[in-house]
Amino acid sequence: MLNNKKIIVVLPAYNAEKTLEDTYREIPFDIVDDVIVVDDASIDNTVEVAHHIGISNIIVHEKNKGYGGNQKTCYDTALKLGADIIVMLHPDYQYTPKLIPSMANIIANELYPVVLGSRILGKGALKGGMPLYKYFFNRFLTFIQNILVNEKISEYHTGYRAFSKEVLQKINYHANSDDFVFDNQMLSQIIYAGFHIAEVTCPTKYFSESSSINLRRSTVYGLGVLKTSLCHFLQRTGIAKFEIYKQKS
């Protein structure tokens, strides 16, 4: 705990048998109270590895629900377990869990309710091996997004995020896509709801076992990001209304 706030790390997993243990071993359990793994119908031994390394909260989707669907289960479960701070970390070891204390401290001390681990601040992305085309794709989308949502964030596409429970209790993340664009819809909801976002510089590692999506799915994701940002613009200017921005009662 930090400042008497319960910290839970959620790991949305899919075919993460080769990297799950490395990720788990770096989690700072001097402050982290619990870890949840949600396996999205992996076809490898992710679940067996999770049991082997001693994770007690393991949820297995019998059918693949998608990246966004996985996170919905992660957040629902963390809130049910009484989390005050929820850290979402990809178990592919692309992001280091060693930043969890810094991210959680920002929320525990009520400086910001949301913290992103940014690969773009500094030179973490290219230094860590991010392909050039992904780097420029990331920068282009982020530039457009900042204009449309009227925000100033270095990266909307990180898989390393921390939230206060109040954020997850307010935004209707269940209205979002079950696919990869879920992440961007969630940030759009957070910004529209008036929550402020902090960022910390995050080194990253690209290697064969780290998760990645192919060019076709990257294109679909990019179009989804642009659509989400346009919807945000129309919503905040009062031109149109969209279901995802309806907050929980």
- Check which CATH number belongs to the domain holding 144 and give it: 3.90.550.10
Residue pLDDT, tens place only, 36-58: 999 999 999 999 999 999 999 99
In this prediction, residue 121 has a pLDDT band, given cuts at 50, 70 and 90, of confident
Q: In this structure, are residues 89 and 97 in contact, taking their beta carbons and an 8 Å threshold?
A: yes
Higher pLDDT, 216 or 208: 216
| Distances in whole angstroms, Cα of residue 160 to Cα of each of 20, 28, 59 | 15, 15, 20
Residues 94/95/96/102 CA torsion (nearest 10 deg): 180
Read off the pLDDT of each residue in 143-172 and give the average, rounded to a whole number.
97
Higher pLDDT, 203 or 76: 76
Read off the pLDDT of each residue in 5-14 and give the average, rounded to a whole number.
98
Residue carrying the six token digits 């510089």:
201
Higher pLDDT, 135 or 10: 10
Residue pLDDT, tens place only, 74-111: 999 999 999 999 999 999 999 999 999 999 999 999 99
| Distances in whole angstroms, Cα of residue 161 to Cα of each of 1, 11, 41, 107, 145 | 18, 11, 23, 11, 18
Is 231 part of a structural domain of the chain?
yes
- Residue 186 burial by Cβ neighbours in a 10 Å radius (0-12, 13-18, 19+): buried
For 210, the domain range is 7-245
Residue carrying the six token digits 């996985």:
70
Is 196 part of a structural domain of the chain?
yes
Nearest to 244 by CA among 225, 226, 230, 228: 228
Alpha-carbon distance of 86 to 84, in angstroms, equals: 7
- What's the chain's Rg over C-alpha atoms? 17
Q: The tokens of 136 are what?
A: 């420029």
Higher pLDDT, 132 or 149: 149
Give the model's pLDDT for residue 217: 81
Alpha-carbon distance of 147 to 189, in angstroms, equals: 16
What is the value of pTM for the model shown? 0.93
Is 1 part of a structural domain of the chain?
no
Is 62 part of a structural domain of the chain?
yes
Is 102 part of a structural domain of the chain?
yes
Give the model's pLDDT for residue 213: 67
**For the chain, what is the domain count?**
1
Is 2 part of a structural domain of the chain?
no
